[in-house]
Amino acid sequence: MSSESYASGIGNKIMLVGIDNKQIVERRLLAAGFQVIKVTDEETALNQARHEVFDKAVMVSTGSLINIAEMIFNLRDLNRSMEVIVLVDPQGKHTNRLLRQLLQHPIEGMQIMTRRQLQKALHGAAPPGREL
């Protein structure tokens, strides 16, 4: 999906997985026109994905990256066309060994972004060729 179609999210359904304490990510997605379904844990996310079709899953990375990788595989098994975006803390992006492994060996259909990169993409400011 191009950044232009991402910037106008009308009609796209996104599952927001994880704890978004200040609801910043949710507000940004809603403002871009996405329908957002929030879930706080992996079990609920998988259950939701079994019953509904989502265009994307946005995972707020706060837990174990082993769980995140497993979750990505499980979501993609349920819906091969669903893109999974993992939001990471820019401070820990290069220091966490498991996250480095995900960056070095990306999973098909997965993107790793900071909240700022997501915000830019929502506003159509993603660099050319860097689709969401």
Q: What dotted CATH number matches 3-122? A: 3.40.50.2300
Residue 19 three-state SS: coil
3 state DSSP class of 35? strand
Q: pLDDT tens across 68-93, in order? A: 888 899 999 999 999 999 888 777 65
Q: Predicted confidence band at 1 (pLDDT cuts at 50, 70, 90)?
A: very low
Q: How many CA atoms lie within 13 A of 75 on its CB side?
A: 35
- 3-state DSSP call for residue 63? coil
The model's pTM is: 0.79
Given the structure tokens 């990375």, which residue do they identify? 61
pLDDT at 65: 63
Domain coordinates of the chain in residue numbers?
3-122
pLDDT for position 3: 42
d(CA 28, CA 51): 25
The Cα–Cα gap between 42 and 68 comes to: 9
Q: What is the DSSP string of 73-119?
A: HHHHHH-TT-EEEEE--TTTTTT-HHHHHHHHSPPTTEEEE-HHHHH
pLDDT tens-place string over residues 21-62? 788 899 999 998 899 999 988 899 999 999 999 999 999 876
